[in-house]
């Protein structure tokens, strides 16, 4: 049975050209990039090239971008780095109630262990933010606002440019988690108005275990990891040369996929999937903003069906989808993102996410829709007979 993967918001396969670029740094150019002798020069030059490519993808000066172990470290570093640098100004941080756990869990620990106060802005039933709520949340002692560019579960694209403008008017720094937006829509730090921005390699067909953080020049910032002096002291630790090279190659390859035509092509596949499902089944609801969302993402709820059960049944048909964030898998409760929509829990427990990628085509979309319709009907029949 042919396997179909529609969980690209969780991770992506390593692209062939990325894998080819990586391999020499395991076998030939294996030296430590911090070494001054011949074995370190090749890796050092390759890291510099990768930095240029990754920076170009987000419209940033290379000097303002440093590499990390992934999106989680980038998010943690942004929050803690700014908070430590500005602790004399205040201990108040503003974020969204439906951010990634890398943001929310870090802020919760800062509240509990370090005495910070966090304001979490709620969203409406479509997952949209009220800009006036952001404005009202800002205070004299606010040191940072952190809001993601695109929600990993719903696909919602947030009005980051407007949010950063409001934040800057109050004299506050703005951090943007762009991990799930990178490679799907254009990301430009200047247009977004971000002082700090987090990205990750494995979302754009590069290896896991590498990411980057943009920190605008002169932004108050204290390093999170110390010792060794790598990345001009901003992120110490031996370089993951192969991963960084892969990130750079993936950034080069990603550029054509975020132009208008490529994004429209992915959106047509997503819309085809939704149309076939909505035409074939009653009792289906779209979760999130129907308009301002990633072109590859669809989050749907199916009345009378448990989302986790539906995911497992589709897996038995060799189709990979999810109920939400891979970082929160294993929980039987709806995610904090879905709960934040303030909808009836019966809809939230029946939610699943489709996230398309480069390998998906119309044939796969039709096969997934047909299989899902069949399985939903079967599961509804089982429930009907059981409650009889």
Contact 257, 26 (CB under 8 A): no
Q: Are 371 and 327 in contact (CB under 8 A)?
A: no
Check residue 5 and report its DSSP letter.
E
Instruction: Determine the 3-state secondary structure of 339 from DSSP.
Output: helix
CA-to-CA separations, 140 to 118, 249, 257, in angstroms, rounded: 14, 43, 42
The answer to whether the CB of 211 falls within 8 A of the CB of 198 is yes
DSSP code of residue 338:
H
Tell me the C-alpha to C-alpha distance, in Å, between residue 198 and each of 49, 51, 55, 233.
19, 14, 12, 18
In degrees, rounded to 5, the angle at the alpha carbon of residue 341 between the alpha carbons of residues 114 and 96 is 30
Q: Which of 327, 339, 379, 383 is catalytic?
A: 327
Q: Indicate the SS3 state at residue 58.
A: coil
239-266 burial: b if 16+ Cβ within 10 Å, else e = bbbbbbbbbbbbbbbbeebbeeeebeeb
Q: What gap in Å lies between CA 302 and CA 271, rounded to an integer?
A: 17
Here the tokens at position 307 are 């989302």
In angstroms, the Cα distances linking 365 to 172, 226, 307, 360 are: 44, 47, 19, 7
Chain centroid to CA 84: how far?
25
**DSSP assignment string, 211-266:** EEEEE-TT-----SS-SS-GGGGTS-S---HHHHHHHHHHHHHHGGGGSHHHHHHH
176 is an active site residue:
no
Contact 130, 96 (CB under 8 A): no
DSSP characters over 101-157:
HHHHHHHHHHHHHH--EEEEE-B-TTS-B-HHHHHHH--TTEEEEE--SB-TTT-BB
Catalytic residue numbers, as ranges: 327
């Amino acid at each position: 049975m042919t396997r179909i993967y529609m969980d690209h918001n969780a991770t992506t396969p390593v692209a062939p050209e990325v894998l080819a670029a990586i391999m020499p740094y395991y076998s030939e150019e294996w030296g430590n990039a911090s070494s001054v002798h011949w074995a370190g020069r090749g890796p050092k030059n390759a890291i510099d090239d990768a930095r240029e490519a990754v920076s170009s993808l987000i419209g940033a000066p290379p000097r303002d971008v440093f590499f990390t172990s992934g999106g989680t470290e980038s998010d943690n570093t942004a929050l803690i780095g700014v908070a430590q640098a500005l602790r004399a100004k205040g201990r108040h941080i503003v974020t969204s109630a439906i951010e990634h756990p890398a943001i929310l869990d870090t802020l919760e620990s800062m509240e509990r262990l370090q005495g910070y106060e966090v304001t979490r802005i709620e969203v409406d039933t479509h997952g949209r933010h009220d800009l006036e709520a952001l404005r009202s949340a800002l205070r004299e002692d606010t040191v940072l606002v952190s809001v993601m560019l695109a929600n990993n579960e719903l696909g919602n694209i947030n009005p980051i440019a407007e949010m950063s403008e409001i934040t800057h008017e109050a004299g506050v720094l703005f951090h943007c988690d762009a991990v799930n937006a990178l490679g799907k829509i254009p990301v430009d730090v200047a247009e977004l108005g971000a002082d700090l921005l987090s990205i990750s390699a494995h979302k754009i067909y590069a290896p896991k275990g590498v990411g980057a953080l943009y920190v605008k020049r002169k932004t108050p910032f204290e390093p999170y990891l110390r010792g060794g002096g790598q990345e001009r002291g901003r992120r110490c630790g031996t370089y993951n040369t192969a991963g960084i090279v892969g990130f750079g190659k993936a950034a080069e390859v990603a550029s054509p996929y975020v132009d208008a035509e490529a994004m429209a092509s992915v959106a047509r596949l997503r819309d085809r999937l939704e149309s076939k499902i909505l035409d074939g089944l009653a009792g289906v609801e779209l979760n999130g903003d129907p308009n301002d969302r990633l072109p590859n993402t669809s989050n749907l709820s199916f009345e009378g069906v448990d989302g986790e059960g539906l995911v497992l049944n589709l897996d038995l048909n060799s189709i990979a989808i999810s109920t939400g964030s891979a970082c929160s898998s294993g929980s039987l409760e709806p995610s904090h993102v879905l709960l934040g929509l303030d909808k009836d829990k019966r809809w939230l427990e029946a939610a699943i996410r489709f996230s398309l990628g480069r390998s998906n085509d119309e044939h796969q979309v039709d096969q997934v829709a047909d299989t899902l319709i069949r399985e939903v009907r079967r599961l509804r029949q089982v429930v009907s007979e059981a409650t009889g």
